[in-house]
Amino acid sequence: MAVKRGIWNRLASGELSSEQAVERCIARYGRRENEVRAFAAFDAERALGEARARDRERELRGPRSVLHGLPFAVKDVIDTVDLPTQRNSPRYEGRRAEQDAACVRLLRQAGCVLLGKAETVEFAGIGRNPLTTNPHDPARTPGGSSAGSGAAVATGMAPMALGTQTGGSVIRPSSFCGVAGFKPTYGRVPVQGLWLHAPSLDTVGWMAEEVELLARTAEVLNLGQWQAPEDGRSLRIGLYRTPYWPDAEPASRAAVETAAEKLAEAGHSVDTVDEIPAAENLNEWQDVIMHGEARISLLAEHGAGKQGLHEDIIEEVEVNRGITPRLMAEAYDGIGGLRPVFDARLADYDAWLTASVPGEAILRSEGNGEATFNRLFTALHLPCVTVPAQKGPAGLPVGVQLVGARFADMQVLAVAAVLEKLLADK
Amino acid sequence: MAVKRGIWNRLASGELSSEQAVERCIARYGRRENEVRAFAAFDAERALGEARARDRERELRGPRSVLHGLPFAVKDVIDTVDLPTQRNSPRYEGRRAEQDAACVRLLRQAGCVLLGKAETVEFAGIGRNPLTTNPHDPARTPGGSSAGSGAAVATGMAPMALGTQTGGSVIRPSSFCGVAGFKPTYGRVPVQGLWLHAPSLDTVGWMAEEVELLARTAEVLNLGQWQAPEDGRSLRIGLYRTPYWPDAEPASRAAVETAAEKLAEAGHSVDTVDEIPAAENLNEWQDVIMHGEARISLLAEHGAGKQGLHEDIIEEVEVNRGITPRLMAEAYDGIGGLRPVFDARLADYDAWLTASVPGEAILRSEGNGEATFNRLFTALHLPCVTVPAQKGPAGLPVGVQLVGARFADMQVLAVAAVLEKLLADK
């Protein structure tokens, strides 16, 4: 088995205490943070104290869950009591929430240890970009908006980090940073205590050092029971290039084709999924909804004056981009009509394989990258996993994506574990 | 014109200062609150100070909006900085949010004056009922879950109050208490700072002393421009009995029939809307989604232990009511498929007329009443207005409801203003 054993694995097996796990994260933080800038807040002493408490508790009463003692980072649009939640907005500098967000509460109730707050694009939407750099090349973007979450996991500063996805904000930074990432079915993770940008799209997701930890986190968050993939069972994989395949660069195409070949070589069936009528509208519909809803989410920020707001946010509120009620209704209904169509097509497969991103991480000066292969699936509310696949021409990581039917979260994670192993075996 | 002139009207015309408006609310509070118990928090001195500041500001710089100086109450699941937000949960006794909810910020940015926090069912969902009584009969329910908002407006303790609706939590208490109430198109009012119970249904709405104030509040919250109904224009009204008409009691049926007759007598066309295939599933689908999503919203509360949680909330999390992922998907898709169908049918009308509630307010000992004529429209994301219509057999108010296509919020409010006048003219 060539998948490398990470912090969680050694923590769960008793090789590491929670305190030792946190110490490793702190050591990585010491080495990498100056360049990577993954964190908006990081409190080593506090985390060590929490870890020691979890270690004592494990001794006295046993672990609270399979994640007991696991250090984790939290995207800075998700509320935490013990560390500020600043949303990368000058307006919220030093802001302290009065309660942890529900997803953070669930993880801490399961014995996880809060390490720090991961950098984000302002309000996880548009506006000020974080200072975070790609851990593989400081001139490149880590991908937005869960930039710090991707970079923290990629550098080993955190074995797991929460993010959020409205377009491609979990899958994209995971792929750019070279880590496993998961965006669950919409609505399956509670949203209390999140900054909501486009509420009908926003979904809490997470990155992790390995796919099984993505799945164990899903388990703790009540998405279902993790089942290790059965040895020898032949998976039915659909190769779904999406209507946006022309936007996939050679690196991303090659990553998908290679993954398909490895799956086929391992005895799994890989069929091409036929085009789905009207699917070519999905990204545009997602765009209409995202901007239409974001405008409403930002109204009160805009109403409080322009000071401390990025000009893109002011523009988001003041310029309506031609988004009329009719266009909003058409977008909602167009997507709503395709949800059962995609579910029915997906029912014939264990998962679909597609691109995670157009290609490698772009230069920071050029933005955060495109969510071309994410927007449609976010709009459809489908669970998506990205798995690190290969290097692109600049030597940067490129992931491939697996997509499942709504609520098939645990199933698509099991397929991702199979693929992760195949891609790690040389 | 027989619609009585309320506080807002006299405030806007300069007859009353904001301070005087607040003083009137405080005087009503002094007379009625002991029996009605509409408020979870009420700070008269603070409100008077805020009102005086708005009065000075009006003198110096003019009004911020048409609502400048208007006192308003806020359902206690909506965050406020200056008063505690306790969600009728012992667990949140004395809780102070660190920021006003976005909808409260928008109203205060427009010059409105926060009066107090209105009582609610625990977490605006299920659980502990508030102590609030129906202002027309203390043995009766004011209707849940925006109980205090309805009762505060009905008693004149507040000219306007924010509530939220997941099933029928704005329209029902408005009808039971005998006031005008509005549930906008889903997604049109920002949700930051709300306790979300079932996020794909939860909608901020409000009650007011008259329909025009419902509309002016909508205007300030960016839903569109208020246009007074044109004199003499003939409206196209659809009489839509819904698949649930057998559940309407004689009082509610009579209220709808009388409203239809008055509209017809006034020269408006009133046609019966034909049955809509599959609409008979809507309330059941809404129920599946509401409980399925509420279970997720409450997970972290449940995970924090049972102390301070009502047994119904514990049951909501622990008993899944047979709600499977397949049932959730079917409910989402069933409703999603009907949204464009209802919009298309509604396009032939200015609004539909239907029942607001099955009948008069029931006894408090029997619950909060049914949301039979609200669940379907909430699920469909349609804007709904209730207007006080007549008295039932026990002398309690019964409203009638107007429903519009998605985003036709201002249009359905204009029709409601016409109907309000017709029902007030004797």
A109 close contact with B: CB closer than 8 A:
yes
On whether the CB atoms of residues A281 and A335 are closer than 8 A, the answer is no
Rounded Cα–Cα distance for residues A217 and A235 (Å): 23
Q: How far is CA B116 from CA B74, B149, B378, in A?
A: 6, 10, 27
Q: Which one of B106, B222, B336 has the shortest CB-CB distance to A336?
A: B336
Q: Is residue A91 part of a domain?
A: yes
Q: Which of these, A226, A212, A149, lies nearest to A6 by C-alpha position?
A: A212
- Sort A225 into a burial class: Cβ within 10 Å, 0-12 / 13-18 / 19+: exposed
pLDDT digits (tens, 9 = 90+) for B206-257: 999 999 999 999 999 999 999 988 888 999 999 999 999 999 999 999 999 9
Complex ipTM tops 0.90: yes
CA distance B96 to chain A (A): 8
On whether the CB atoms of residues B175 and B384 are closer than 8 A, the answer is no
Contacts of B106 in chain A (CB under 8 A): 299-300, 303
Contacts of A299 in chain B (CB under 8 A): 102, 106, 190, 222
Rounded Cα–Cα distance for residues B124 and B144 (Å): 8
On whether the CB atoms of residues A420 and A180 are closer than 8 A, the answer is yes
Considering the candidates B18, B89, B146, B169, report the single residue annotated as catalytic: B169
pLDDT digits (tens, 9 = 90+) for A42-63: 999 999 999 999 999 999 999 9
Q: How far is CA A416 from CA A224, A400, A419, A421, in A?
A: 16, 10, 5, 9
- A138, A32: one domain: yes
State CA A368 to chain mean position distance.
14
Q: Which one of B195, B222, B407 has the shortest CB-CB distance to A328?
A: B407
**Residue numbers of the domain that contains A101:** 7-234
Chain B residue nearest residue A92, CA to CA: B99
- A97, A170: one domain: yes
- A12, A138: one domain: yes
Q: Is residue B384 part of a domain?
A: no
- The β-bridge partners of A183 are A384
- A208, A319: one domain: no
CA distance A187 to chain B (A): 7
On whether the CB atoms of residues A297 and A196 are closer than 8 A, the answer is yes
Helical spans, DSSP H, in B62-210:
102-109, 147-154, 171-177
- A329, A208: one domain: no
Give the count of domains, chain B. 1
Q: Can you tell me which residue has the tokens 């973007």?
A: A141
Q: Can you tell me which residue has the tokens 């004395």?
A: B94
- A129, A187: one domain: yes
Residue that finishes a domain, picked among A334, A353, A372: A334
Helical spans, DSSP H, in B42-90:
44-61
Would residue A200 show up in a list of annotated catalytic residues for this protein? Answer: no
Q: How far is CA B112 from CA B18, B61, B64, B154, B272, in A?
A: 9, 15, 9, 19, 41
CB contact (8 A) between residue B192 and residue A187: no
State CA A284 to chain mean position distance.
21
CB contact (8 A) between residue A337 and residue B339: no
Sign of CA dihedral A126, A127, A131, A136: positive
Q: Omega of the bond prior to A269 within 30 degrees of 0, cis? A: no
A306 close contact with B: CB closer than 8 A:
no
On whether the CB atoms of residues B180 and B386 are closer than 8 A, the answer is yes
Considering the candidates A146, A169, A175, A356, report the single residue annotated as catalytic: A169
On whether the CB atoms of residues B421 and B268 are closer than 8 A, the answer is no
- Sort B272 into a burial class: Cβ within 10 Å, 0-12 / 13-18 / 19+: exposed
A337 close contact with B: CB closer than 8 A:
yes
Q: Is residue B95 part of a domain?
A: yes
Q: Which helix (H) or strand (E) holds A423?
A: helix A409-424
Contacts of B297 in chain A (CB under 8 A): 102, 190-192
Q: Which of these, A133, A118, A113, A44, lies nearest to A77 by C-alpha position?
A: A118
On whether the CB atoms of residues B273 and B239 are closer than 8 A, the answer is yes
Would residue B75 show up in a list of annotated catalytic residues for this protein? Answer: yes
Q: Is residue B173 part of a domain?
A: yes
Query: Residue B281, SS3?
Result: helix
- A310, A214: one domain: no
DSSP B159: S
What is the structure's pLDDT at A425? 75
Q: Which helix (H) or strand (E) holds B353?
A: strand B351-355
Rounded Cα–Cα distance for residues A216 and A209 (Å): 12
Task: Please tell me whether the overall predicted TM-score, pTM, comes out greater than 0.90 for this model.
Answer: yes
B352 close contact with A: CB closer than 8 A:
no
Query: Residue A323, SS3?
Result: coil
Inter-axis angle of helices A282-297 and A325-346, to 10 degrees? Answer: 130
Rounded Cα–Cα distance for residues B115 and B107 (Å): 12
Please report, as a single letter, which amino acid is at residue A94: G
State CA A226 to chain mean position distance.
19
Rounded Cα–Cα distance for residues B175 and B385 (Å): 10
Rounded to whole angstroms, the maximal C-alpha distance in chain A is 61
- A107, A31: one domain: yes
Q: In chain B, which among 285-304 make CB contacts under 8 A with chain A? A: 293, 296-297, 299-300, 303-304
B406 close contact with A: CB closer than 8 A:
yes
Q: Is residue B235 part of a domain?
A: no
Please report, as a single letter, which amino acid is at residue A394: A
Considering the candidates A145, A146, A174, A356, report the single residue annotated as catalytic: A145
Q: Is residue B42 part of a domain?
A: yes
A94 close contact with B: CB closer than 8 A:
no
Please report, as a single letter, which amino acid is at residue A129: N
Q: Can you tell me which residue has the tokens 């464009």?
A: B340
Q: Which residues of A371-388 are buried (b: 16+ CB within 10 A; e: fewer)?
A: bbbbbbbbbbbbbbbbbb
CB contact (8 A) between residue A329 and residue B337: no
Q: Is residue A101 part of a domain?
A: yes
On whether the CB atoms of residues B250 and B394 are closer than 8 A, the answer is no
pLDDT digits (tens, 9 = 90+) for B364-407: 999 999 999 999 999 999 999 999 999 999 999 999 999 999 99
> Over its length of 426 residues, how does chain B's per-residue pLDDT go in tens digits?
445 689 999 999 999 999 999 999 999 999 999 999 999 999 999 999 999 999 999 999 999 999 999 999 999 999 999 999 999 999 999 999 999 999 999 999 999 999 999 999 999 998 999 999 999 999 999 999 999 999 999 999 999 999 999 999 999 999 999 999 999 999 999 999 999 999 999 999 999 999 999 999 999 999 999 998 888 899 999 999 999 999 999 999 999 999 999 999 999 999 999 999 999 999 999 999 999 999 999 999 999 999 999 999 999 999 988 899 999 999 999 999 999 999 999 999 999 999 999 999 999 999 999 999 999 999 999 999 999 999 999 999 999 999 999 999 999 999 999 999 999 875
Would residue B145 show up in a list of annotated catalytic residues for this protein? Answer: yes
Rounded Cα–Cα distance for residues A378 and B25 (Å): 47
What is the structure's pLDDT at B2? 46
Contacts of A105 in chain B (CB under 8 A): 300, 303-304
Q: Which one of B95, B191, B406 has the shortest CB-CB distance to A329?
A: B406
Q: Domain with B45 in it: what CATH number?
A: 3.90.1300.10
Q: Is residue B147 part of a domain?
A: yes
Q: Which of these, A239, A201, A228, A175, lies nearest to A410 by C-alpha position?
A: A228
Rounded Cα–Cα distance for residues B256 and B259 (Å): 5
Q: Which one of B188, B199, B303 has the shortest CB-CB distance to A191?
A: B199
DSSP B14: T
Q: Which of these, A35, A226, A203, lies nearest to A103 by C-alpha position?
A: A203
Helical spans, DSSP H, in B227-383:
250-265, 282-297, 299-303, 311-318, 325-346, 375-379
> Over its length of 426 residues, how does chain A's per-residue pLDDT go in tens digits?
445 689 999 999 999 999 999 999 999 999 999 999 999 999 999 999 999 999 999 999 999 999 999 999 999 999 999 999 999 999 999 999 999 999 999 999 999 999 999 999 999 998 999 999 999 999 999 999 999 999 999 999 999 999 999 999 999 999 999 999 999 999 999 999 999 999 999 999 999 999 999 999 999 999 999 998 888 899 999 999 999 999 999 999 999 999 999 999 999 999 999 999 999 999 999 999 999 999 999 999 999 999 999 999 999 999 988 899 999 999 999 999 999 999 999 999 999 999 999 999 999 999 999 999 999 999 999 999 999 999 999 999 999 999 999 999 999 999 999 999 999 875
**HEC sequence for A104-173:** HHHHHHCCCEEEEEECCCHHHCCCCCCCCCECCECCECCCCCCHHHHHHHHCCCCCEEEEEECCCCCHHH
On whether the CB atoms of residues B119 and B76 are closer than 8 A, the answer is yes
pLDDT digits (tens, 9 = 90+) for A185-216: 999 999 999 999 999 999 999 999 999 999 99
Q: Which helix (H) or strand (E) holds A272?
A: strand A269-272
A96 close contact with B: CB closer than 8 A:
yes
CB contact (8 A) between residue B190 and residue A297: yes
